[in-house]
Amino acid sequence: MSSRRYVKSKPARQLPADAERTRRAEEIGALFKQLGQTRGNQFPWHKSPDPFKVLVAEYLLARTARLVIERVYQRVIDHFPNAAALAAADPKVLSELTREAGLPRKTLGLIEVARRVTEIGEVPPNREWLLSLPFVGDYIADAVLLYAFGLPIIPLDRNFQRVVHRVFFGQEPPKRSIEPYRDPETVHVVDEMTCGYDARALRNFHQGVLIVAWDFCRHRPRITACPLSPHCALAWSLSPEVQIPG
């Protein structure tokens, strides 16, 4: 943990000029990509080529801790290894298997998701179709397209938004009313960080951001332990011991 208490009201470091921000974005994008390459893709659904299993994992992951979901996902897949089995699931059995994840209404929506998949025989690489599923929003749809189908898309969630705003602007993201896909600063910086990346690079990059978000950049950031700290505007303003790269 950082020895320093996290203070939200600390003034943010001044935004660099655009050319400098683009250079920083490229540099930081490469760091995230490298981090994802070396430490990412650890969860079972990242190693599965089955789009249905990726959809189940991303569906469960939204709003729930990944370590809980790792256990819940494995239980669900062990009992219901494909869409047909899950479509025919007894809701009571599924509720029992997923109790640890909370959000019971949403979790039971998985049965409807599985039914929709069985109707057409597979999960299609189609964003509109994915968005038509219950409880599936932009992030889940894009995560399925990236991880299951290798499409060059970056899913944006609030974890992602928090990291971007702290690293680049040295402050917290906008209030909850501005969600990441409609936050122009997040979208612009992500575009700059990933310029020229193919789907494989985007996948590693996304994994790298998630590792920082999950392991270090929490509500109270672990600045001194974070591999991004030498490049992070919030770390510069909160931790004088952080060495800014020259």
Contact 164, 178 (CB under 8 A): no
Scanning 16-24, 34-42, 82-90, 215-223 for contacts with ligand SF4 by CB under 6 A, the matching segment is 215-223
202 binds ligand SF4 (CB under 6 A): no
Residue 229 lies near ligand SF4 (rule: CB under 6 A): yes
Single out the segment in contact with ligand SF4 by CB under 6 A; choices: 32-40, 117-125, 186-194, 229-237: 229-237
If one asks whether residue 210 binds ligand SF4 (CB under 6 A), the answer comes out as: no
Alpha carbons 69 and 103: distance in angstroms, whole number: 12
Segment interacting with ligand SF4, rule: CB under 6 A, options 99-107, 132-140, 147-155, 210-218: 210-218
C-beta closer to ligand SF4: residue 162 or 203:
162
83 binds ligand SF4 (CB under 6 A): no
Candidates 179, 163, 172; CA nearest to 31 is 163
Instruction: Name 36's Cβ contacts closer than 8 Å, sequence gap at least 6.
Output: 203, 204, 205, 206, 207, 208, 209, 210, 211
Q: Does 101 bind ligand SF4 (CB under 6 A)?
A: no
Footprint (CB under 6 A) of ligand SF4, residues 152-181: 163, 166-167
Contact of 226 with 211, CB cutoff 8 Å: no
Query: Among the candidate windows 18-26, 34-42, 196-204, 211-219, which touches ligand SF4 by CB under 6 A?
Result: 211-219
Of 48 and 224, CB closest to ligand SF4: 224
Q: Is 39 in the site for ligand SF4 (CB under 6 A)?
A: no
What gap in Å lies between CA 82 and CA 100, rounded to an integer? 21
**Ramachandran sector of residue 103 (left: φ over 0; alpha: ψ -120 to 50; beta: rest):** left
Of 108, 133, 157, 153, the C-alpha closest to 55 is 133
Minimum distance of ligand SF4 from residue 217's CB (angstroms): 3
Q: Could you give the CA distance from residue 55 to residue 239 in angstroms, rounded to a whole number?
A: 40
Give CA–CA dist 160/210, Å, rounded.
7
With binding defined as CB under 6 A, does residue 228 bind ligand SF4?
yes
Per CB under 6 A, 235 contacts ligand SF4: yes
232 near ligand SF4, judged by CB under 6 A: yes
Query: How far is residue 44's CA from residue 72's CA, in Å, rounded to a whole number?
Result: 12
Interface residues with ligand SF4 (CB under 6 A) are 163, 166-167, 212, 216-217, 221-223, 226, 228-229, 232, 234-235
